[in-house]
Amino acid sequence: MKVLIVGSGGREHAIAWSVAKSPKVDKIYCAPGNAGISEYAECVPIGAMEFEKLADFAEKNAVDLTVIGMDDPLVGGVVDVFESRGLKVFGPRKNAAILEGSKAFSKDLMKKYHIPTAAYENFSDAEKALKYLREQAKFPIVLKADGLALGKGVLICNNLKEAEEGVKEIMEDKKFGSAGNTMVIEEFMTGREVSVLSFVDGKTIRTMTSAQDHKRALDGDQGLNTGGMGTFSPSPFYTEEIDKFCQKYIYQPTVDAMAAEGRPFTGIIFFGLMLTAEGPKVLEYNARFGDPEAQVVLPRMKTDIVEVMEACIEGRLDEMELEFEDNAAVCVVLASEGYPVKYEKGIPMYGFENFKGKDGYYCFHAGTKFQDGQIVTNGGRVLGITAKGKDLKEARKNAYEATEWIQFSNKYMRHDIGKAIDEA
């Protein structure tokens, strides 16, 4: 088979690595890809939002399966373009990707189908939002831009003043662009966060092993929200009992709700969960693999990813069971100093050869490129260093050891990825 992967981050590197393991695959393309992905895939210079060009490429090169890694093209309808041209593609159609593309949609869906989530109100008028905040809100409170905002459109406000500023940022100054035309105001929840990714074929859902992300930029969960600074898998807090609850009251009901709405979901549903004192509740849905969740979940997956994706597309996921290794993985993101605000790019990087021949260690590229034959930094999140171990403690020790194998002058990382493991 020939497979085309669309995207250029650490998640797409992990997907490419996973696809490359499949005995069914003999050629991988990635659009646009990055320096690390080029080890398994031929990178082609087509942007993820150039739907017709991507489909032209797939057609011309007789690509058998296209896998969409990123949220923007999914929400923009890339799958519909491929399907209309008779091309096989893995991911939700536009009318299903709205599960991630509109937080107001997903909140209304959960309310209608009694899926546990935080109490909320949607607003498309700043004055009404402010009135609600002044008259009815309990603090802290959470403001969310409705649309895609690179994981940064969520503001936790401790008092009315912060909330008023938040409404201004989201709805008036349009800090997140049109994503802020509508806003969700949501009850603040406390508890452990867990990410559960799943494969879905429109009716059947098969969940993957759990993971936990670290969204804030600085140690101790301080600083700004980022795309994710590191992950571990599995989450020791995600017990069998919690899994049973979620399968019954969250996962299958979400798939059934989408089907009932005439929006059958095929692809990956990412459940961002909060394990509250009242039980698990949905924080958010994503319509794709998490980044950097994929970098700890996929290295532990034993099942052939291409077979699962094909089963999803063909509506026969019920015939499959997913298998994961009985071990653990930790991913530490190496970022550019200053991320997520301001940082330098184009810095030369060294040490990649240290990963050669090291089983259970992975150097997933997130923002890198070749410049005059040398790998240089090309983004805020630069690499995801993943290591496996027999348990979380060993995986964490291994991952931090491997972070030392790579050098670049503005390298930044959190030093407490997986610290919660000690409390488990």
Three-state DSSP at 209 gives: coil
- The 3-class SS string of 111-130 reads HHCCCCECCEEEECCHHHHH
In terms of CB distance, is 11 or 369 closer to ligand GLY? 11
In terms of CB distance, is 139 or 188 closer to ligand AMP? 188
Closest by CA to 206, choosing from 258, 266, 260, is 266
Helix (H) or strand (E) holding 154: strand 154-157
Binding partner of residue 189 among ligand GLY, ligand AMP, none, CB cut-off 5 to 8 Å per kind? ligand AMP
In terms of CB distance, is 151 or 166 closer to ligand GLY? 151
In terms of CB distance, is 12 or 213 closer to ligand GLY? 213
Q: Which residue is nearest to ligand AMP (CB)?
A: 284
CA distance 217 to 415: 11
In terms of CB distance, is 151 or 299 closer to ligand AMP? 151
Q: Nearest distance from residue 200's CB to ligand AMP, in Å?
A: 19
In terms of CB distance, is 192 or 365 closer to ligand AMP? 192
CA angle, 13 then 398 then 401, to 5°: 95
Q: Nearest distance from residue 285's CB to ligand AMP, in Å?
A: 9
Contacts with ligand AMP by CB under 6 A lie at 118, 142, 151, 154, 156, 186-189, 193, 215, 272, 283-284
Q: How is residue 376 written in tokens?
A: 């240089």
Q: Nearest distance from residue 211's CB to ligand GLY, in Å?
A: 9
CA distance 276 to 189: 7
Cβ atoms within 10 A of the Cβ of 128, count?
A: 11
Q: Nearest distance from residue 148's CB to ligand AMP, in Å?
A: 10
Residue whose structure tokens are 């452990």? 192
CA distance 396 to 137: 40
Closest by CA to 31, choosing from 1, 60, 55, is 55
Binding partner of residue 154 among ligand GLY, ligand AMP, none, CB cut-off 5 to 8 Å per kind? ligand AMP
In terms of CB distance, is 209 or 286 closer to ligand GLY? 286
Binding partner of residue 290 among ligand AMP, ligand GLY, none, CB cut-off 5 to 8 Å per kind? ligand GLY
Contacts with ligand GLY by CB under 6 A lie at 151, 213, 228, 286, 290-291, 293
In terms of CB distance, is 153 or 234 closer to ligand AMP? 153
CA distance 267 to 270: 10
Q: Nearest distance from residue 208's CB to ligand AMP, in Å?
A: 18
Q: How is residue 347 written in tokens?
A: 């810095």
Q: Nearest distance from residue 25's CB to ligand GLY, in Å?
A: 25
**How far, in whole angstroms, is CA 125 from its chain's centroid?**
30
Q: Nearest distance from residue 1's CB to ligand GLY, in Å?
A: 27
Q: Nearest distance from residue 284's CB to ligand GLY, in Å?
A: 8
Residue whose structure tokens are 């994981």? 151
Cβ atoms within 10 A of the Cβ of 168, count?
A: 13
